[in-house]
Amino acid sequence: MCGIIGYIGKEDAVPIIVDGLKKLEYRGYDSAGIAVLGYNGFDVVKQKGRLAILEERLASRLLENKPLSGRLGIGHTRWATHGEPSDINSHPHVGSKNKIAVVHNGIIENYKQLKERLEHSEHGVSFASQTDSEVIAQLAEHYYSGDIIDAVIKVSNAVEGSYALGIMCIDEPDTLVAVKKDNPLIIGVSDHGNFIASDVPAVLKHTNKVYYLNDKEIAVLKEGKVQFFNMDKEPLKKKIETITWSMDSAEKGGYPHFMLKEIMEQPRVLRDTIQSVFNDGKNKNVLDSVNISGYNKIVITACGSAFNAGVTAKYVFEKLCRISVDVELASEFRYKDAIIDNKTLVILVSQSGETADTIAAMREAKSKRAATLSIVNVVGSTIAKETDYCLFTAAGPEIAVATTKAFSAQLVLLYILAVRFALKTGKLTHKEEEAQLAEIASLPDKVKMLFEQIDAIQKYASTCVGYKSIFFIGRNIDYAIALEGSLKLKEISYIHSEAYAGGELKHGTISLVEENTLVVALSNCERLYGKIMSNAQQVISRGAKVLFIGNCPRDDTESEKLYYINLPKAAELFSPSLSVIVLQLFSYYVAANKGLDIDKPRNLAKSVTVE
Ligand code: G6P
């Protein structure tokens, strides 16, 4: 959580940092701040609340003829962990000697001990905030004796926990230093200056050339130069990477929200992701090289929507490959002493590739010698780098906190993986494999067809803003995708919501159904249509309304209590890719009708890099 950015170069750092923070706000938005190093030392503007408030503060500084300006600066957008969101707890933090300023993403676990030590030291350091992060600025000042790299090495050796840091020192005004452990940090290089940032979109406007910093590597940025060092201060050679994401992908492009834009991008994202496994390249190589016959068990582990992609994929793997699949929440898997060994394939699904629990699950799997395969959207991310095999989703940057296009891309890669494994293990013939792949390849056009119903979905959603609770039901793979529908709705609309397997309704949940409850019923499994429809009738007869989303031939007439949204026909196993589009649009329009901040739902962050 938290986004950091820094710039050193020929241009004014302030607009560059503010613009970069806008692209990082998905990582947290409790407070924002910026510091520049000018002739008179540090100039810091920071406060509680969204970036928009910081912009207002910067604008009033301009009106007062005291603009914030400088060619070296750092910025931060916060998701509070230690210390409430407040002006004083906002970053950047400056040490009490006013010598060193720091922005931090991560958690310093031993900050209390370090703080006490500094408070009781010879000079009696006094702390201004309640954050763990301030200890870094204070500690760096404590260690500083003329060389900022030496001080950063000492800080890195003293702190426990996770960090991505941007550091400026008043005595070295031509230098911006960065270091990281267990949190992402990229270094961007451009003609006019160099950058540090938590994520690529923050610098994409200026450059597509980046270095990915590894744990405990130090980057030292000057106006026209970037150098890297290890913790023994030995220079490192690093490979520069070229980012293929376009700048447009990090802009709203006329849509009111990133979420809607990202929903609408899905036909292209699906097509690109499907293509990526057939064109020569990394994904094709990975798919060709995983030897599924070497494993007798598959475990899929992930968090949030990525977990729901795993639950959905379980039905596909088990049906096509006849291999048993466990799906585990990464936050549980990491602590459960899982029964896995070198005959297990652990699949990790993560948009960001940086989710702390998923990283821990990956390391747990590796420590038990299981093979690891990841499905990740962000090239250069920790999970992409550390797993044995990595398949990349071609979703491009996803900015809205609630995932849509990355989820859909994860699903299709999981389908293709299952089909390929089924072929390799002799469960499918070549002909059958081709037929399955043709079904998958038809999905992007079917999603486009679905977009023709946007008006109807929007209209129905506009009638749903008043519900206190909305339930989602489905059976088999429809139940799996109901989980995602429910999560999406609660994330962005703040309406309480649960997903249930249709058959479970009568075991308790039905007691919650009353007059004016909404139940969203999913039905793409034709063989189970009758069952889910009788669940729908059971809740209707208890006063509920039902939104029925499916592709089965229907025999109940629409009424005031029962509304249908029809999906194009698709193979049962791949139909979640269509249902989910309706579920995303439904959630989006419910939230939009409530006038909520859809791209940045309260209390959430996109990249959850803390436990
Ligand atoms: C957060 C996001 C979700 C996402 C989950 C896992 O909760 O809001 O949209 O599914 O993290 O993130 P990952 O990057 O691992 O897919």
Whether residue 272 is found in the same domain as residue 378: yes
Strand order in the sheet with 325-329: 325-329, 297-302, 344-350, 371-376, 389-392
Cα gap 567→586, rounded to integer Å: 14
Whether residue 234 is found in the same domain as residue 257: no
Residue 447 lies in a domain: no
For the chain, the residue count is 611
Convert 25-51 to b/e letters by CB count within 10 Å (16 or more is b): bbbbbbbbbbbbbeeeebbbbbbbbbb
Cα gap 530→582, rounded to integer Å: 21
Whether residue 237 is found in the same domain as residue 256: no
Count of CB atoms within 10 A of residue 326's CB?
17
CA of 305 to the centre of ligand 1 (A): 6
On the CB side of 149, CA atoms within 13 Å amount to: 15
What residue's CA is closest to ligand 1, atom 7? 304
Residue 86 confidence (pLDDT)? 87
Whether residue 391 is found in the same domain as residue 516: no
Residue 513 confidence (pLDDT)? 83
Domain CATH number, residue 555: 3.40.50.10490
Atom number of ligand 1 nearest to Cα 383: 15
**Residues contacting 332, CB < 8 A, separation 6+:** none
Domain's final residue, options 210, 243, 276? 243
Whether residue 297 is found in the same domain as residue 436: yes
Residue 260 lies in a domain: yes
Convert 91-123 to b/e letters by CB count within 10 Å (16 or more is b): bbbbbbeebbbbbbbbbbeebeebbeebeeeee
In angstroms, what CA-CA distances link 2 with 24, 81, 106, 511, 530?
Answer: 8, 10, 8, 41, 48
Whether residue 371 is found in the same domain as residue 513: no
Whether residue 201 is found in the same domain as residue 98: yes
Ramachandran quadrant class, 387 (left: phi over 0; alpha: psi -120 to 50; beta: rest)? beta
Whether residue 212 is found in the same domain as residue 260: no
CA of 275 to the centre of ligand 1 (A): 24
Q: Spell out which residues line ligand 1, taking CB within 6 angstroms.
A: 303-306, 350-352, 355, 358, 401-403, 604, 606-608
Residue 281 confidence (pLDDT)? 84
Domain CATH number, residue 184: 3.60.20.10
Q: Which residues of the chain are under the pLDDT cut of 70?
A: 555-556
Residue 603 lies in a domain: no
Active-site residue list? 2, 606
What residue's CA is closest to ligand 1, atom 4? 304
Supply the range of the domain harboring residue 395: 251-441
Q: pLDDT digits over 488-507, tens only?
A: 999 999 999 999 998 888 88
Helix axes 51-63, 13-24, angle to 10 degrees: 160
Whether residue 265 is found in the same domain as residue 205: no
Task: Outline where 322-469 has alpha helix (H).
Answer: 330-333, 356-367, 382-386, 405-424, 430-441, 443-451, 454-462
CA of 304 to the centre of ligand 1 (A): 5
Residue 606 lies in a domain: no
Amino acid residing at 338: A
CA of 577 to the centre of ligand 1 (A): 18
In angstroms, what CA-CA distances link 326 with 317, 353, 366?
Answer: 11, 21, 17
SS3 (DSSP) at 539? helix
Whether residue 171 is found in the same domain as residue 255: no
SS3 (DSSP) at 509? helix
Overall domain count for the chain: 3
Tokens of 460: 């129905």
Residue 579 lies in a domain: yes
Q: If we measure between CA atoms, which residue out of 199, 242, 196, 202 comes closest to residue 218?
A: 196
On the CB side of 78, CA atoms within 13 Å amount to: 30
Number of H helices, E strands in the chain: 19, 25
What residue's CA is closest to ligand 1, atom 8? 606
In angstroms, what CA-CA distances link 289 with 130, 282, 390, 416, 559?
Answer: 50, 11, 11, 14, 53
pTM for this model (two decimals):
0.85
